[in-house]
Amino acid sequence: MTEVVLYRRDGCHLCEEARALLVALLGERARAGLPSPPVVERDIDTDPAWQRAYFASIPVVEVGEHRLELATSPARLRRLLATLDGATPGPSS
């Protein structure tokens, strides 16, 4: 199963909001019988390459080859998670 990866850092309130949204949306998917993989969190402060890549755009969520920067919108996260079902994310993802 594809991982849902959350790039974050400690003390980032947007990252905490994104984590809570992911947990809620994945819970909805599980209740609907849809794939709901666990969230793998990656602290950008533990890897200089992640920090350079994502410092200005966290929280960042990846599902397979799809990436959503500034992942704080429930609708955009829902579209990204739909890629677990083979959907193609919309242009705002």
User: So where are the chain's domains?
Assistant: 4-85
Residue of 36, 34, 35, 40 lying closest to 6 (CA atoms): 40
C-alpha dihedral (47, 49, 51, 55), degrees to nearest 10: -160
Beta strands 4-8 and 60-63, pairing class: antiparallel
Give this prediction's pTM: 0.90
Convert the pLDDT of each residue in 13-66 to its tens digit.
999 999 999 999 999 999 999 999 999 999 999 999 999 999 999 999 999 999
**What is the CATH superfamily name and number for domain 4-85?**
Glutaredoxin (3.40.30.10)
